[in-house]
Amino acid sequence: MFTNETLKTAAAARALAEIRDGMRLGLGSGSTSTIFVQLLGQAWQEGRIRDIVGVPTSEKTAALARSLGIPLRTLPEVGRLDLVVDGADEVAPDFGMIKGLGRALLREKIVAVHADHFLVIVDETKLSPRLGLSVPLPVEIVPFAAEMTVAWLAGLADRAELWCEEDGRPIVTDNGLYLARCWFDNGIADPSALARVLADRPGVAEHGLFLDMADTLIVAGRDGVRVLRRQKGATAPHTESV
């Protein structure tokens, strides 16, 4: 029986085949990335992978990696990364992505831009013809006058709100910032234009649009696991294997 969990595990297992001894790895955050880190830790403990160094994108990922014995360093200590392995909340045909519902988008993006390759692992439910159709866009914002920033975001989207814990307190990221979520009833018409507007707004620290960043996508579905690769700026990916 196929479940989201089994599909996530299949994608993470295929990503493990991309890892080579001596790699400097960015370790993503979220449910699928957690499975990958667990598999990586098992391979490390069994000696199937050697001499790797991990740079985590969240404190939660860091704690998991340490518990598995994976050697960790900070990004400044490592410098350039060979590969980042991370998940995504939604992926468009051109590899544009919404990320950040795992609450770590700012660190994920910082780590990703310092990597030679960015590999994303998802199950087929994360594929979408247009970004914003199935998930809200998370935006990491400064706590000062956060209500004003959320009101401005609501003017860009069909709806926006401050993301809060169940007890009503604002979610606080590892960076000490807040998160807002923005909904678009018909998806995001022009993700690149929206990304530019968000980047220019004081009070917005970072947004969850990851555009023209990933070069490898591993998709697990009921018909198997697909590996798609693309060069940055390309309009279509190349399916390498099924």
**108 in active site:** yes
User: Is 10 in contact with 220 (CB distance < 8 Å)?
Assistant: yes
User: Is 29 in contact with 88 (CB distance < 8 Å)?
Assistant: no
How far apart, in whole angstroms, are the C-alpha atoms of residue 31 and residue 54? 18
C-alpha dist (Å) from residue 80 to 15, 24, 37, 66, 211: 20, 8, 20, 21, 20
Structural domains of the chain sorted by starting position, each given as residue range(s) with its CATH number in brackets:
4-125+211-241 (3.40.50.1360), 137-207 (3.30.70.260)
Token pair of 5 as six digits: 């969990």
Helix (H) or strand (E) holding 110: helix 105-112
- Name the catalytic one among 108, 166, 206, 240: 108
Give the global pTM: 0.94
Token pair of 135 as six digits: 């998930």
Q: Which residues of the chain have pLDDT under 50?
A: 242
For 76-215, strand residue ranges (E) read 83-86, 90-91, 97-98, 118-123, 137-141, 159-162, 178-183, 204-207, 209-210
pLDDT at 4: 86
φ, ψ of residue 91 to 5 degrees: the values are -130, 130
Give CA angle at 59 (136, 77), nearest 5°.
Answer: 115
How far apart, in whole angstroms, are the C-alpha atoms of residue 104 and residue 113? 15
pLDDT at 231: 72
